[in-house]
Structure 1
Amino acid sequence: MTDRVAAVTAAFEAAYGRLPTGVWSAPGRVNLIGEHTDYNNGYVLPFAINRRTWAAVGMREDRTVRLRSTFADGETTASLDALSPDAMGGWSAYVLGVAWAMADAGIDLGEASGLDILIDSDVPVGAGLSSSAALECAAGVAFTELWTLDLDKIALARIGRVAENKAVGAPTGLLDQAASMLGEEDHAVFLDCDTEAAHPVPLHLKQEGLAILVMNSNVEHEHATGGYGDRFASCANGAKALGVATLREIGADDLTRAEGALDEETYRRVRHVVTENQRVLDTVDTLAAAGPRAIGDLMNASQASMRDDFEITVPEIDLACDAAVLAGAVGARMTGGGFGGSSIALVPAEKAQEIASAVQGALSDAGLREPTIFTVAPSQGARRDR
């Protein structure tokens, strides 16, 4: 066991007076490129990161689920026979919502035992690194094994998305859960959100002497409220006005028609999605043909599109990206849903600290909030740890 798994095991024993049946975990994620394309049935290219959420779980002899965590006081109790989105709230909704979504998908939980659950995590909350999907996926792999369910990784990702959409109320796509379930070391996950076909894409970061800096703006966001839902609605309205089911059906050749058919704001929202889909495809091709040092312009173009067309960045994000590139980053862009959260910079590993210092200095000089900056590595997806 790693030190963290041992600590989670000990915390479970302290909370419930017995050892857990097992410990499962799932990672947060960084999206290399492809923002707000997932719920438009487009393309995304995320990777799982080496920050995780752990679920220590013990089986019970009744139908009760008890939830505790290392980051919040108190205990949440629920019955498997009375799960509903209306009866869930707070962080526990991400866990109970997975069980509810399984039943909602037609999975028979009539013989499922109750569970005692202890959650721990080192994925920052509100940082755009998908702490919610890490929680959903850790719960999902634990429930699947303990209840002997026949669910593959994409099916579990789908269930996590339903939990987030319906139990939590955040209108997200499949990107976060797919990355958390399917991640591999030193690989990104290319996902076609229309067909749900996915495959690993080698990144060769170590081989090329590169690292990923996460620059957390410390401006917190919530997908269940605010601008994320507005962008979701704007994309749906744009698709309807253009006579298509989703913006996946719109290509660059259709943008002239779209500009004539849509109001100026909706057109810019549509243009971001269309061009971002193409940037994902171009990034996959460029990684294969020329390696990660060649994708900087695509990352920078994605950042500009999110800033100007989709309008989901904040000043802290924009300045961090600009400062990182000026200091020698290959490329930089916001990652996640926006309105705060984090940006990432692809940097030469030997210059990581120098670039981080330059970013911190630029934000300090501008009188903006101090960022939290750290490196992440593409890592393995959801798994059993004990």
Structure 2
Amino acid sequence: MAVCKTPFETPSQSPVQRVRAAHPSSGGDVQVASAPGTWVLLGENVDHFGGVTLAGTVALRAAAAVSPREDNLISISARGPLGQEFAVQMPYDDTPADGLARRWWGLVHTLVQRQVLSRDTAGLDITVESDVPVGAGLGALYAADAAIALALAAGHDDVDTAPFRARLAEICSHAVTSYSSLIVLRARHSVALRGADGVSVVDYADGSLTQAPPPSHHGVRVFSLAEGLGEPFVQSRKEIAERRAFIDAACTNFGVASLRQLPEASARVVQWIEARRSAGDEMAPEPEVARRWVQFCESETLRSLAAAKALRSRRANELFTLLNSPAEPHDLATPDALVALARERGAVSARPAATGTSNAVIAFVPVQDADEFAAAMARELEVVEVTAGEPARVEG
């Protein structure tokens, strides 16, 4: 395991202060917004199924400043908390090759296509300052997406209304799906833009977002644990993309908005896959793989619903038992050794920060043991405490 020589610390100045100082003084109208990191409690892989995802905001934030320019260029400058720096200048009309540039270039173009930004947009200066570390399972890139989108939309009359925030979250997720090679967890955009200081319950069957009390009400502190920070986790990217494409195709075949609406979904999906393979469809997945994924999504949705109920009824033992219970087989990479280590060292519960899209672990530690736990873990690992944050806001 990697040695963490110094604890993770954020700069003394807030990202909003830093982004105001760093943004070019072009004389244009500068708009600033900030958005929180996010952490996942359960259900990170069930959105395409129509399941339920539980996620919360983090006190660590990203801030974005934007202003117009007249030379048909998009200039982006970004800095993270670990000394990472990113800078690019590109033509407004040419798709960039760099992955991060393409992600945010695509976000600008999607905002224009959805008529949140004017079609007369000629160019932009975009500056990002973030305190959310990449690799901790805390949605660093999503926080930056949300901050950029909200800064660009800051002049909209409905910018603080729930329907507009829901629309903006959908635009962010659509843009990243279209322009980034990284897997998108849509709940992170939703929670960053619409969440609160508790746990948001995002139900993809009807698109609702409601609130539940945070686990901290059960006498625990929450930590992110990782062997290293600074890089996104991509090991299971292909597998997740294939499973989501299969779910989407199944929904289309059965004429349902989500497989959660389909009675006896796993059996009927397997029959459909077997029929495709019998007809010579070489693109159809193995029937057993399809069955496992549908059953995984069904099981995770039930776990998420049960966890939301446990949070709302303040049943701590039930909540932590649910978090510790093994998931259905899913064939995705998970940090099982780190989960086990956290539990051995005193966490009442620990689980992957986001199965398949993060190699970090979220650990829940009794308050009286938390300082000792964090200090012991920091000798070998990167440790970031997860404290409640506030949703994205336009900074006046």
Q: Which residue in the other structure is 1:167 paired with?
A: 179
Q: For residue 289 of structure 2, what is the aligned residue in structure 1? A: 265
Cα 1:326/1:239, change in 2 over 3 Å: farther
Q: Does the aligned pair in 1 maintain the 2:103–2:175 contact within 8 Å?
A: yes
Alignment of 1:1-386 (within 5 A): 3-12=14-23, 15-16=24-25, 21-60=30-69, 63-70=72-79, 71-79=84-92, 82=93, 86-87=95-96, 89-107=98-116, 109-112=118-121, 114-146=123-155, 152-185=164-197, 187-203=198-214, 205=216, 207-218=217-228, 220-222=232-234, 225-236=237-248, 246-250=258-262, 255=266, 263-301=287-325, 304-305=326-327, 309-314=329-334, 317-338=335-356, 340-356=358-374, 370-386=380-396
What is the alpha-carbon distance in structure 1 between the residues aligned to residue 269 and residue 71 of structure 2?
Answer: 57
Give the structure-1-normalised TM-score. Answer: 0.82
Task: Letter of the 2:290 partner, please give it.
Answer: T
Cα deviation for residue 378 of structure 1 reads 2.2
* Cα pair 1:293 1:330 within 8 Å, conserved: no
1:325–1:65 distance in 2 versus 1, CA, 3 Å? same
After TM superposition, give the deviation of residue 102 of structure 1 in Å: 1.8
Q: Give 5+ residue unaligned stretches, structure 1.
A: 362-369
* Offset, 1:339: 5.5
Judged with a 3 Å threshold, the aligned counterparts in structure 2 of structure 1 residues 339 and 48 are, in CA distance, closer, same or farther, namely closer
RMSD: 3.2
One-letter amino acid matched to 1:197? S
- The secondary structure found in structure 2 opposite 1:338 is coil
Count of residue pairs brought into register by the alignment: 363
Would the aligned equivalents of 1:55 and 1:138 in 2 still touch at CA under 8 Å? yes
Q: Is the 8 A contact 1:228 1:337 kept in 2?
A: no
Residues 214, 342 of structure 1: 8 Å contact kept: yes
Does the CA-based 8 Å contact 1:203-1:291 persist in structure 2? no
- Seen in structure 2, the aligned counterparts of structure 1 residues 58 and 284 have a Cα distance that, compared at 3 Å, is same
Q: Is the 8 A contact 2:74 2:126 kept in 1?
A: yes
Shift of 1:72: 2.6
String of CA shifts for 1:30-53, please: whole Å, max 9, x gaps.
111112011222111111111221
Q: Give the AA of the match of 1:232.
A: R
Task: Please tell me the residue identity of whatever aligns with 1:311.
Answer: D
Amino acid in structure 2 at the alignment position of 1:25: S
Q: Structure 2: how far apart are the matches of 1:167 and 1:382?
A: 23
Instruction: Give the structure with the larger helix fraction.
Output: 1
1:315-357: per-residue Cα shift (whole Å, max 9, x none)?
A: xx21221222233323211122525431111221221233346
Alpha-carbon separation, structure 1, partners of 2:67 and 2:348? 46
The range that moved more, 37-46 or 218-227, is 218-227
Structure 1 CA distance for aligned equivalents of residues 372 and 272 of structure 2: 47
Counterpart Cα distance in 1 of 2:235 and 2:110: 19
- Say if 2:201 and 2:209, in contact at 8 Å, map to a contact too: yes
Distance 1:57 1:106 in 2: 17
> How many angstroms apart in 1 are the aligned matches of 2:16 and 2:180?
27
Q: CA deviation at 1:118?
A: 1.2
Alpha-carbon spacing, 1:72–1:174, altered in 2? closer, same or farther (3 Å) = same
TM-score (norm 2): 0.80
1:161 deviation in Å? Answer: 0.5
Q: 1:18 and 1:2, CA in 2 relative to 1: closer, same or farther beyond 3 A?
A: farther
Select between 108-117 and 95-104 the one with higher mean Cα deviation: 108-117
Relative distance call for 1:28 and 1:20 in structure 2 (3 A) is farther
Check the 8 A contact 2:154/2:394 in 1, yes or no: no
1:131 partner amino acid: A
